[in-house]
Amino acid sequence: MNKLIGFTHASAELHEDIMTCQMCAPHLPLAPKPIIQFNPAARILIAGQAPGLRAHQSGRPFDDASGDRLRDWLGLSPAQFYDPQLLAILPMGFCYPGKGPSGDNPPYKECATTWRRPLLKQLSQLSLTLVIGQYALAYHVGAHKGSLTEQVRQQALDETTLILPHPSPRNNIWLKKNPWFELEILPALKQKVQLAISV
């Protein structure tokens, strides 16, 4: 299938420019390799932090245990999850940023302003944004004084932007400590996802 189905000339050009971007090559540990999923027709946006090493190697976002859990949370099969006409996956930085002292390095800031912002403007059918991680949270939700746990729990579930904890196995302890997430948030999330992709 032609991956550029549904693209305008401008969005196809933008996508091509991104895929050949070398802007922060000197700061990256590996050669730039943007790992995104995008089509202007996407209904749901997954706004994450930056691809990890595994995604860099495989070329697919969330191609790991975090992705398995995220797909389970959303109630989507891998085929649905990797359908760019249903889901856009646009992290705050598009290339693997390398390891830092605690986890991966932060995403390269200019990526969001140079590439991500114009891509977001092309998402004309978007009805649901799922925010994962502090950088995406600051961009899509803004400054908040509470902890991530408070923000996830207190959010209004009828909004079009929902905050999620990271689905990484490293968050297993958080999930055990906060059973309300699976009991209260996930059913509403699954419902919203189904509604968004069935429009």
Interface with ligand SF4 (CB under 6 A): 18, 21-25, 32, 34, 93-95, 108, 110-111, 114-115
Of residues 17 and 72, the one with the C-beta less far from ligand SF4: 17
Q: How far is the CB of 61 from ligand SF4 (least distance, A)?
A: 13
Q: Whole-angstrom Cα distance, residue 90 to residue 94?
A: 7
Closest to ligand SF4 by CB, 48 or 165: 48
CB of 109 to ligand SF4, least distance (A): 9
Please identify, using beta-carbon distances, which residue of 20 and 147 lies nearer to ligand SF4: 20
Q: What is the nearest approach in angstroms of ligand SF4 to the Cβ of residue 38?
A: 12
Rounded to whole angstroms, how far apart are CA atoms 7 and 32? 23
Cα 32 to Cα 35: distance, rounded to the nearest angstrom: 9
Q: Side by side, which strands form the sheet with 128-132?
A: 87-89, 44-47, 128-132, 161-164
Gap between the Cα atoms of 54 and 161, Å rounded: 27
Nearest distance in Å: CB 28, ligand SF4: 7
Looking at the Cβ atoms of 24 and 45, the one nearer to ligand SF4 is: 24
- Distance in angstroms (rounded) separating the CA atoms of residues 169 and 66: 7
